[in-house]
Amino acid sequence: MKKFVALVGTNTAKSTNRKLLQYMKKRYADDAEIEVVELKGLPIFKKSEEVYIPQQARDIADKIDASDGVIIGTPEYDHSIPALLSSALAWLSYGIHPLMDKPVMIVGTSYGTLGASRAQAQLRQILDSPELKATVLPSSEFLLGHSLQAFDDNGDLKSATESQKLDGLFDDFLEFVDLTEKLGHSKQIHEQEASSTFSWDNGTTGDDK
Amino acid sequence: MVKLVGIAGSIGEQSYNRMLLEFIRDHFKKTVDIEILDINDVPMFNEDEDHNDNPVVHELARKISGANGVILATPEHNHTVPAAMKNVIEWLSNNVHPLNGKAVWIVGASYHTQGSSRAQLHLKQILESPGVNAFVMPGNEFLLSNAKEAFNADGSLKDARTVGFLDSVMKKFLTFMKVIEMMDAPDPKNAHEEDMDSKHPVNTTVEGVDMNDPEWVEKAAEKTHAASGGDYVKLDRGLLTVDQLNYFLNSMAGELTFADDNNQFIYYNHNAEASQMLAARTPDQAGDPLSAVHPGRVIEHVKQVLYALRTGQSDVVSMPAQTGPNQHVMHYYRAMRDENRRYRGVNELVIDIMPILKYYLAATGQKLVKDPDAVPMSPITGLDAVTGASAHSTPSTDATSGASASTASAKPEPAKDPIDMDSLTGASEEAQPGYTAAENSAPAQKPESAPESDTDATTGASEH
């Protein structure tokens, strides 16, 4: 059975993204073991001469390393991903590269109608950057709008349309994980680049400071 | 001088973006005052914990609010803005919104060729979201690539063409800021459109506090973390504490009122009880829309005064209120304008000029006599419509105030009548037995028989 790490993109207690990830954990329990992982508590990313990485980030990196893929649930703050998620991704690409070539599925919820669409678009760009180079499930979006009303008392999605859509995407993601196994040709080069180009001077592995 | 704040987007590292900001600050120091803000101690944003009580965030918000514009210098981390920069913006778009309507210039430096191009695009999107609602200067991208080689040892930029480009962009940003500062200026098309209910917030309007709340001052002060007591305020030209400002304003020889460009009554120099004032105001009225402090019958006339000042038809409108042999109270309405000549509100001074006149006569050994050749004029100045239409007003003050008495006593004016000074001043002519020269320096007594709402029909806060 596949193992996935599901990152909750926000630290608020009332997150509907957490609800969505918990719903997925429950709904797809027969197909995959999903561990919902909190980012709350991570400090804001900053570089240091000793390239210090907080233990919480290292623990998350270990979990991702041991998984077959990552699901990220993001809300939208100011048309982009929360600083917390941004920080987490920076820590997870600061001399360590757990997300490199890792299959990633993006989902997002919002209180309004748009379902974090712009945050999701930015998140794809970020995951494409040279230090991250995650392999994001293409041509798929799960945008859950009006998320405060979207769940029933059991934490299940009320809308059959939405839950069927998510089922389809998750099935695709399972296939995608197998598919990416076969995309190994550039993997080694990515990892070499990442470790060889890293220096304090450019802070990260080749991107701009 | 134009005041800007600059924020460099990364923390805890030697930053070329900070160097770039410092160079900009030093290079333009003769024309622009730039303060670089420190974001190192801003905690991770959490909407559950944003109770509007974080001192670091407040200080940032206060400084941004007080600036004419903001320069953001962003590096690029993972194709986006650093989390530290985004984190600050999240704090500044949830409970407080100091970037709302603010002009922003984005610059960026990077080690390699990109010069933070993608981070700048993300930052633009972020700044344009409704919670932030800043005005980002379009075009004019300043991307400093190969930052390590770009600076001299003294921190200045090596390349003269780069400096030249920076000069040209700063020049455009100074113009852009002026344009942006005009964006929220209320723009009524005629006097009738003057919004007496203050529903067109300007960049100084305190949002989220009910204007009609009797404790508006206290609540708005809490919301804005207003300076108070011994806090120093830098003025043009001088430096005073808030206490000193109060001593100064409260000892002015006249009653002062400030209504802003959203027609909100936000200040008066509170040095006497309402009953002791020439134009009565009470502490609970501060913050009220002007409609709440004027009787309905004068609203249209007040609008004409405001419109004349706002549009620059007049810089001062003056009119008499209580008049008589021993008292001649004048209301002076002066337009306040900022450095861009934008109207920022009305400064009202209410003062009894009779003591001044009597002093002058006594000191120079003269007396008043009627002038048989006097040309009839309106006692109201600064309103063309009024002076033109005022031939019916007789020249003598007695006659004027006599007419006021009848107005005050009875008929409500239809709102759209042409202005006539009687209803504007709403004043009354009564014998004032208690008023003597000896009491000149004390607040003049109000004529006992004048209904309070009438003595101050135009000028503000007398509606109860």
Domain ranges of chain B: 2-183, 191-455
Q: Return the amino acid letter for B295.
A: P
Which whole number is the average pLDDT over B94-99?
90
> Got the DSSP string for B165-230?
HHHHHHHHHHHHHHHHHHHT----SSGGG--TT--S--TT--TTS-TT-TTHHHHHHHHHT---TT
Which residue type does A101 have? Answer: D
pLDDT band at B416 (very low <50, low <70, confident <90, very high): very low
Residue in B49, B78, B133 to test binding to A, most A beta-carbons within 10 Å: B78
Lowest mean pLDDT among A46-55, A95-104, B72-81, B413-422: B413-422
Q: Which residue among B78, B86, B131 sits closest to A129, beta carbon to beta carbon? A: B78
Q: Is the dihedral of CA B387, B392, B396, B399 positive or negative?
A: negative
Q: Is the pLDDT confidence value at B190 over 60?
A: yes
CATH, domain range A2-197: 3.40.50.360
More confident residue, B396 or B244: B244
Q: Do A209 and B147 count as a contact with CB atoms less than 8 A apart?
A: yes
Task: Give A-chain residues touching B110 at CB under 8 angstroms.
Answer: 208-209
Query: How close A111 gets to chain B, by Cα (Å)?
Result: 14
Residue-range domain boundaries for chain A: 2-197
Would you say how long chain A is, in residues? 209
Confidence of residue A30 (pLDDT cuts 50, 70, 90): very high
Report percent pLDDT > 90 for chain B: 64
Which of 76-115 (A) contact B at CB < 8 A?
A: 77-84, 86-87, 89-90, 93
A99–chain B nearest CA distance, Å: 13
Q: Hey, are the CB atoms on A79 and B47 less than 8 Å from each other?
A: no
Fold classification of B191-455 is Beta-Lactamase (3.30.450)
Q: A44 in contact with B at a CB cutoff of 8 Å?
A: yes
Question: Mean of the pLDDT values across residues A48-75?
Answer: 95
Residues of chain A with Cβ-Cβ distance to B148 below 8 Å are 201
Q: Quick one: what percent of chain B has pLDDT higher than 70?
A: 82
pLDDT recorded at residue B135: 96
* pLDDT grade for B57, boundaries at 50, 70 and 90: very high
What number is the average pLDDT over the span B392-399? 36
| B397: pLDDT strictly greater than 80 | no
Please give the helix or strand (H or E) that residue A80 lies within, else none: none
pLDDT at A107: 95
pLDDT at B462 over 90: no
Q: Which residues of B touch A86 (CB under 8 A)?
A: 77-78, 80-83, 86
**pLDDT at residue A119 above 90?**
yes
pLDDT of residue A197: 58
- Is residue B406 pLDDT above 50, yes or no? no
Phi, psi of B215 (to 5 degrees): -105, 30
Looking at the predicted structure, is the pLDDT value of residue B13 above 90? no
Q: State the smallest CA–CA distance between residue A43 and chain B in angstroms.
A: 7
Residue identified by tokens 């991250």 is: A132
State the count of interchain CB pairs (< 8 A) between A and B.
139
Region of A145 please: left (phi>0), alpha (psi -120 to 50) or beta. beta
Residues of A whose CB is below 8 A from B12: 46-48
pLDDT at B323 over 70: yes
Q: Mean pLDDT of all residues in chain A?
A: 90
State the pLDDT at residue B380: 92
Q: Which of B165-179, B183-197, B426-440 has the lowest mean pLDDT?
A: B426-440
Contact with chain B for residue A45, Cβ under 8 A: yes
Per-residue confidence (pLDDT) for residue B385, from 0 to 100: 54
* Residue A91 half-sphere exposure toward CB, CA atoms < 13 A: 24
Mean pLDDT (whole number) for A59-86: 97
Q: Does domain B2-183 have CATH number 3.40.30.10?
A: no
pLDDT at B165 over 90: yes
